[in-house]
Amino acid sequence: MKRWIRSFSAAWVAAVLALMVTGSGALLYALPWEQKLSNAISGTEVQVDVVAALPAGTNNLGDVDVLTFPDNEPFDLAQVSGTALDVDVGTVSAGTPRVVEAAPSGRTNTAVDPDQVDAADVAANAARVSILCQNVGTEPAMVRIGATSGGTTGLVIGGGASANDGSGGTFTTRDQGAVYLYDLNGNGNADTQCVEETT
Query: Domain-by-domain residue ranges, the chain?
Result: 106-198
Sign of the alpha-carbon dihedral angle for 14, 20, 24, 26: negative
- Report the alpha-carbon distance of residue 39 to residue 100 in Å, rounded: 65
SS3 122: strand
What percent of the chain stands above pLDDT 90? 24
Contacts of 58 (CB under 8 A, 6+ apart): 67
Q: What is the CA radius of gyration of the chain?
A: 45
- Report the alpha-carbon distance of residue 161 to residue 165 in Å, rounded: 7
Q: What pLDDT does 147 receive?
A: 73
Instruction: Give ∠ CA 152-170-109 in degrees, rounded to 5.
Output: 105
Q: What pLDDT does 169 receive?
A: 93
**Structural domain 106-198, CATH architecture:** Sandwich (2.60)
Q: What pLDDT does 10 receive?
A: 73
* pLDDT confidence bin for 24, thresholds 50/70/90: low
Better pLDDT: 176 or 150: 176
Q: What pLDDT does 126 receive?
A: 93
